[in-house]
Amino acid sequence: MSDSPASPTSTTSDPPSGASPQTSTMPPIVRSVGRNVHLYGANDPATELGGLFLTNGITNANFYSMVEIIIIFESEFSLYNEGGTVIEKDDHPLQPGKYYIVATGRRVHNHIFMVK
């Protein structure tokens, strides 16, 4: 492997003589299946920005930190649950459900992650 910043190249051997290359008939991976925590912007509650499968030990403060990783804000933000209650940035266990981001400024950037 080289130290260059270029993407690595994958090579495969040709199929055996007389065989045709196979194409996948599997549907694309749906990454949101199984999530029980969903994240939306308050201004666009129909578009899911992200989510996770809640496991033991994830706190409200952890969730705030996760949101700060995937979205860059110009200002402070708060998370609200479906009932409109602000979620404090504390060590209480995060609960399953839908959460909405409310920010005083605008959202600057969403990081897009790709699975290969």
62: in domain: yes
Sheet holding 77-81, edge to edge: 44-52, 37-41, 97-103, 77-81, 86-87
Q: Which domain holds residue 41?
A: 37-110
Total count of residues recorded for the chain: 116
19: in domain: no
88: in domain: yes
2: in domain: no
Residue type, 98: K
32: in domain: no
User: What mean pLDDT comes out for the span 75-103?
Assistant: 96
CA distance 55 to 45: 24
Using alpha carbons only, give the angle 13, 17, 18 rounded to the nearest 5 degrees.
125
The answer to whether 100 and 44 have CB atoms below 8 angstroms apart is no
List phi, psi (to 5°) of 28.
-60, 155
State pLDDT tens for residues 1-56: 444 444 444 444 455 555 555 666 766 566 667 899 999 999 899 999 999 999 99
Q: How many CB atoms lie within 10 A of CB 57?
A: 8
In the chain, the number of structural domains is 1
pLDDT value of residue 99? 97
pTM above 0.85, yes or no: no
CATH at residue 45:
3.10.20
